[in-house]
Structure 1
Amino acid sequence: MTSNSLVLDRDHIWKAIDVQRTNVTGLLEDLSADEWRQPSLCAGWTVRDVAAHLTLQQVGPGGAMGMIFKWRGSMDRTIQHAARQRAAALTTEQIIAQIRDTIGSRRHNFGVTYLETLSDILVHSQDIAIPLGRHLDMPADAASVAATRLLSMRWPPPLPSARKLAGFRLVATDTSWSTGDGLEVQAPMSALLLVCCGRLTALPQLSGPGAATLTARLLA
């Protein structure tokens, strides 16, 4: 697989995480009570659930074991259960305050790396903003680092959507990033990251000779 990826050092990545955390708290402060109850891009998750999940980006060994003890049959269902519990236990103001309190911290969840923290905040902030018709910038350089990680990771296991991108060459139209071999698919970097994470709302932004084939594969 050929790849042309931007490289950001750890400090730049944490700064990008802090910027996105700052932006998402500003967005959350502006939401109405009804918007907090709306569905997010994550199937079965409300905006409130996703925001509550973002308070759980610094879970240590003890917290991780606590989640395992409440296992729901899969990691996805277990994480969703933890988010819903958090969403029910905290007030709106507490959720926003706890996300804000992570700004400047360099802790990340036990068992993963800071690159997963980057992917988490970049994608989940769009999970909140897009269905509400709100705009939240996603830096192309940070998104390229997150996408490179998602498409090359072995642990945690790669997402099913990322595995479906095999056999395509992905090319960003707004930064010098590309990866893969095969039919070329072009899109803004933010859309490519969302597609890597299975967010089908970004499919209309795809273009190039492989766009229709990849869209059909992801929709199947």
Structure 2
Amino acid sequence: MDLWPLIHAERGALAEDLATLNDTQWDSPSLCGEWTIREVVAHMSAAASVGRLRWFRSVLGARFDFGLHNQRRLAEHLGATNADTLAEFRRIIPSTTAPMGPAAAWLGEVVVHTADIRRPLGIDRTPPVEVVTEVARFYASRDFAVPSRSAAKGLRLEAIDGPFSSGEGPLVRGTTLALTMAMAGRAVFCDDLTGDAVTVLRGRCHHINP
């Protein structure tokens, strides 16, 4: 399945939401570490603009300090104003550039960061369940950008709104998005989950660097 059209569609949907934000909202905290909404958007633009060779050069230049690498690339795409940041993000909507890894990882990048933005702003939009299911399956099967497979290890995850299920062990149930975001380390989404192992999954979220 070609996932790039899904990536482009979710970027486009996020751009529509971003166009409605005021300056205070742009500067408000996201769910992604210490970054503001504006910084997460700039990070997404950077991720869609850096190919494999440049990524390696950037990481080497930062002496494998991935936080420094991310901050340097983020600064390149932040822009002088919120409008500039949005314009740069709109530019990369059709991009298929990525540092490395399968397209499912970059679909995950978009799904997770759009939720990082929408949840704290109270924006009620969720990607289609078939889109999030692709990410949930990838996260449950592999540690890539985040240790998502490790977070889900020894647990039974079951979606209540789609076909996703994974693992054996104590049960965690919820929407596909909530399960995906919990695997990505966003503990606040554990509030949306039920089952005997929610506390276990929540505890593992605190050990994941977003």
TM over 0.5: yes
1:129 has 2:133 as partner:
no
- Structure 1 residue runs of 4 or more that deviate by more than 4 Å after TM superposition: none
Structure 1 portions without partners, runs of 5+: 1-8
Contact 2:182–2:202 (Cα < 8 Å) also in 1: no
User: What per-residue deviation string (whole Å, max 9, x for no partner) do you get for residues 139-197 of structure 1?
Assistant: 2111111122122225x4x6245412211010000001100110111000010110010
The match for 1:164 is 151
Structural mapping, 1:111-122, within 5 Å? 111-122=100-111
Q: Return closer, same or farther for 1:58/1:153 CA change in 2, 3 Å cut-off.
A: farther
Query: Of the candidates 173, 198, 205, which is equivalent to residue 211 of structure 1?
Result: 198
Give the TM-score normalised by the residue count of structure 1: 0.83
Structure 2 portions without partners, runs of 5+: none
Structural mapping, 1:32-43, within 5 Å? 32-43=22-33
Query: Of the candidates 148, 152, 161, which is equivalent to residue 174 of structure 1?
Result: 161
Mapped to 1, the partners of 2:194 and 2:162 lie a distance apart of 16
Mapped to 2, the partners of 1:14 and 1:116 lie a distance apart of 11
Mapped to 1, the partners of 2:57 and 2:80 lie a distance apart of 18
The match for 2:15 is 25
User: What per-residue deviation string (whole Å, max 9, x for no partner) do you get for residues 39-63 of structure 1?
Assistant: 1101111111100011121312343
Query: Of the candidates 81, 91, 110, which is equivalent to residue 81 of structure 2?
Result: 91
Percentage identity across aligned positions? 27
What amino acid does structure 1 have at the position aligned with 2:50? V
Give the TM-score normalised by the residue count of structure 2: 0.87
Query: Of the candidates 65, 77, 88, which is equivalent to residue 74 of structure 1?
Result: 65
Structural mapping, 1:31-70, within 5 Å? 31-56=21-46, 57-70=48-61
Mapped to 2, the partners of 1:58 and 1:138 lie a distance apart of 23
User: What per-residue deviation string (whole Å, max 9, x for no partner) do you get for residues 112-148 of structure 1?
Assistant: 2211210011110111111112222222111111122
Computed over aligned residues only, the root mean square deviation of the Cα atoms, in angstroms, reads 2.2
Mapped to 2, the partners of 1:69 and 1:209 lie a distance apart of 44
Structure possessing the higher relative contact order (Cα contacts under 8 Å, 6 or more residues apart): 1
- Name the SS for the 1:164 alignment partner: helix
